Amino acid sequence: MNQVQETFRSFQGGKIIKRALYTLVVLILLFSSFGTVGAGERGVLLQFGAVQDKVFGEGLYFKIPFIQHVVTVDVKIQKDEIPATASSKDLQVVTSRIALNYHLLPDSVNLIWKEVGKDYNIRVIAPAIQEAVKATTAKFTAEELVTKREEVKEEIKSNLAERLLTRSIVVDEFNIIDFDFSRAFNEAIEQKVTAEQLKLKAERDLERIVIEKEQQIRQAEGKAQAITIEAQALRINPGVIQLRWVEKWDGKAPQYWGSVSPFFGLNQ
């Protein structure tokens, strides 16, 4: 009798364990069937490792456990800074640093994952920047790259945006942080700027001298004209001299009169 009871108890315990295992398996399958995609992300559906056409948006999604897998991809705006080297139209070596803001097309992340994978910034963006910079800087001289920097920036941006859009990557903002040239070229530019400054100073000094000379000529012409007018007035009217003397007389009689020497003082 005791043996029968023990057998029955063992049987009941086995059933409980099996039920627990079944429940555990069901729970695992159930939780493996659901997942969530975070804000600013998209889910790429993989079935046996192959990329599917389905792209999951933000929120809850359902998949087949052990058969399907979901990879989340960031579609928010991202930033990269990449160095680039190229040659100008006049064969000057130009090094620059490019700052790029970009984001992935949300509905095309499955194509990016299928064609490139997660290293799209290394495999696609960096080479595209190099090619866009080279294609554009080759159209400008080194000096124009400095004087026409905004034009150069817009052309590189347009070229780069066209290249990346074919890979479902959108350019949001593009900036050239710095242009740098060889030491010899920088010295040549510095010498040219110095020469232009000296030339400008010489032109200003010459202009000042010409103006001062013209002022002196005008003053001399004014004095000569005044003397001429006064001489003409004296010829026409000799009494002008007496009038001038009277105007300047202080009212006191002179102490000596006559033209012989010694003079006899009037007070004597």
Query: What is the tens place of the pLDDT at every residue in 95-112?
Result: 999 999 999 999 999 999
Residue 178 confidence (pLDDT): 80
pLDDT tens digit sequence for 159-198: 999 999 999 999 999 999 887 887 777 676 667 766 777 7
Return the percentage of the chain with pLDDT > 90, whole number.
Answer: 38
Residue 264: both structure tokens together: 């006899």
Total Cβ atoms within 10 A of residue 51: 18
**Tell me, what's the pLDDT at 64?**
86
Residue at token pair 């080194």: 142
Torsion of CA 89, 92, 93, 94, to 10 degrees: -70
Tens of pLDDT, residues 18-64: 777 777 666 666 667 888 999 999 999 999 989 999 899 999 988 88
Q: Which domains does the chain have, with CATH numbers?
A: 2-74 (no CATH), 78-181 (3.30.479.30)
**Which amino acid would we find at residue 3?**
Q
> pLDDT tens-digit profile of 9-27?
555 556 677 777 777 666 6
The pLDDT of residue 254 is 57
φ and ψ at residue 263, rounded to 5 degrees: -80, 150
User: Where residue 205 falls among pLDDT bands split at 50, 70, 90?
Assistant: confident
Q: Which residues pair with residue 50 across a beta bridge?
A: 47
Q: Which residue has the higher pLDDT, 258 or 122?
A: 122
CB 110 within 8 A of CB 44: yes
Which residues on adjacent β-strands are paired with residue 158?
A: none
Dihedral of the alpha carbons of 218, 223, 224, 225, in degrees to the nearest 10: 90
Average pLDDT over residues 127-156: 92
Query: Token digits for 83?
Result: 């160095």
pTM metric for this prediction? 0.62
Question: What does residue 4 show for φ and ψ, rounded to 5 degrees?
Answer: -65, -40
